[in-house]
Amino acid sequence: MKLMTEVVNFLEAGPIKLFINGTWKESNDGATFKSYNPANGRELAEVYEAKESDIDDAVQAASLAFEDGSEWSNLSAIDRANLMFKLADLMERDFEIIAQLETLDNGKPINDVRAADLPNAIENIRYFAGWVTKATGQTIPYSNDFFNYTRHEPVGVVGQIIPWNFPFMMAAWKIAPALATGCTIVLKPAEQTPLSALYMAKLIEESGFPKGVVNIVNGFGKTAGDALVKHPLVNKIAFTGSTQVGKSIMKEAANTMKRVTLELGGKSPNIILPDADLDKAIPGVFFGAVANQGEVCNAGSRVFIPDEIYDEVIEKLVQYAKSLKVGDGLDEQIEMGPLVSERQQEVVTSYVSKGIEEGAKLLVGGEKTDEGYFVSPAVFTDVTDEMTIAKEEIFGPVVVPLRYKTIDEVVKRANASPYGLAAGIWTENLKQAHTLANKLKAGTVWVNTYNITNPAAPFGGFKESGFGREMGSYALENYTEVKNVLISLE
């Protein structure tokens, strides 16, 4: 596919600057880093690298923008909503530019970006723009001598740290509820995928948001991310990423009593029941595990299959794996792209080797390419619950099937994980679907579908998959403080 002139110009205008206080700035010490195209390992662009002092600049800007009497805090609700609607319109206008940038930087198929990431991002901005004029407090009955009401006030300056697997969509999921509630933002994208969020910064600038309301600062987790988590003027951290980093953020945030919401890892069960419609269930569990190269926090990476249909399901999963078109995501025929980085390619292939070492049998895939960071979709068999590949998050295109005999057994085994992000059920029996949906310990339960998110519905984890919910009215609570006002009428 030919790259659009706008995309080429954007990449070549580098080093691309940090977006702080409504202006484009070099990093204070002049440091930069590079972003690579995972389809071929070649350099894509150079971007400025924020460190502690740049983060401080961004936080100070966000703090000023939040202050009482600022341009942002003085906006009427409808004007704030209109800025968000404008931003969504500009995302739509530049849809194809963003799609190309996302595929170049992350590797994922451009068709996926067009069909899922981008529409979802835009819908999120619009959905939350709608809330600006509708989120209300309460008037609370007490007595004739008092008037009692609550205000839902923005929590303040929020630090948002996001991963590389859905760079643009994650940025939208994060900024939308924060803007809707009137917060100001310092967003740090993942080091592997800085580009689409920088393009979003351009659109934020063009939309006309007051300076300092959204600051987008690329940098590394251990420096820029850490400085954001420690900064005393940041009131809340919203983090999406690994459970390990999430735990360290939660500990660190305790020092300044920051509010924290965490969207972390998973090892989600996807359960085929004996009566499932296999024509839907088999592709459903296959793509539930390998969509987005398996780089999905809620990937259905434990596929539970009833004993009596196990062989039939496995045979078809292998066929799907063999026929999946893997290649450069810019090719519109492609169904799966490369993993995001060489490191991720190594992580995934070492899990594949570990599976074999521990006695599982690899039926297909798991091979890496010389050029680009590809791993072919893999299907195992003879896996037991104790094996590493059945317990740990692989974050790659690896289907881990597990045999079961009874429903009670499968519920117990599905829940026997420190994670609880999502679960899938495939059945034609509605009673069974509801019963299992009640019993599974997961923030989302999908029935006869998988990986579908709705901006109006909550998403987030149980257990070590984190806490707090993105999207839906639930997300507003993450970004507000409730103030009780009690007035004597005597």
Catalytic residues: 263, 297
Q: Which is nearer to Mg ion, 218 or 301 (CB)?
A: 218
Q: Name which of ligand NAP, Mg ion, none residue 338 binds, using a CB cut-off of 5 to 8 Å depending on partner kind.
A: none
Question: Interacting stretch for Mg ion, rule CB under 5 A, among 29-37, 146-154, 353-361, 423-431?
Answer: 29-37
Q: Which is nearer to Mg ion, 36 or 351 (CB)?
A: 36
Q: Which is nearer to ligand NAP, 105 or 191 (CB)?
A: 191
Residue from 102, 105, 295, 328 binding Mg ion (CB under 5 A): 105
Q: Which two tokens stand for residue 311?
A: 């062989």
Please report whether residue 35 would count as binding Mg ion according to CB under 5 A. Answer: yes
Q: Name which of ligand NAP, Mg ion, none residue 105 binds, using a CB cut-off of 5 to 8 Å depending on partner kind.
A: Mg ion
**Spatial distance between the Cα atoms of 290 and 366, rounded to a whole number of angstroms:** 12
Q: Which is nearer to ligand NAP, 51 or 316 (CB)?
A: 51
Residue nearest to Mg ion according to CB distances in the complex: 35
Contacts of 137 (CB under 8 A, 6+ apart): 149, 150, 151, 152, 482
Q: Name which of ligand NAP, Mg ion, none residue 300 binds, using a CB cut-off of 5 to 8 Å depending on partner kind.
A: none
Q: Which two tokens stand for residue 325?
A: 């078109």
Please report whether residue 243 would count as binding Mg ion according to CB under 5 A. Answer: no
Q: Which is nearer to Mg ion, 42 or 361 (CB)?
A: 42
Please give the size of the binding site for Mg ion, defined by CB under 5 A.
3
Q: Which residues bind ligand NAP (CB under 6 A)?
A: 161-165, 188, 190-191, 220-222, 225-226, 229, 240-242, 245, 248-249, 263-266, 297, 393, 395, 421, 466
Q: Is the dihedral of CA 52, 177, 244, 394 positive or negative?
A: negative
Give me the least distance between CB of 108 and Mg ion, in Å please: 11
Give me the least distance between CB of 280 and ligand NAP, in Å please: 25
Q: Name which of Mg ion, ligand NAP, none residue 35 binds, using a CB cut-off of 5 to 8 Å depending on partner kind.
A: Mg ion
**Spatial distance between the Cα atoms of 250 and 232, rounded to a whole number of angstroms:** 15
Positions touching Mg ion (CB under 5 A) are: 35-36, 105
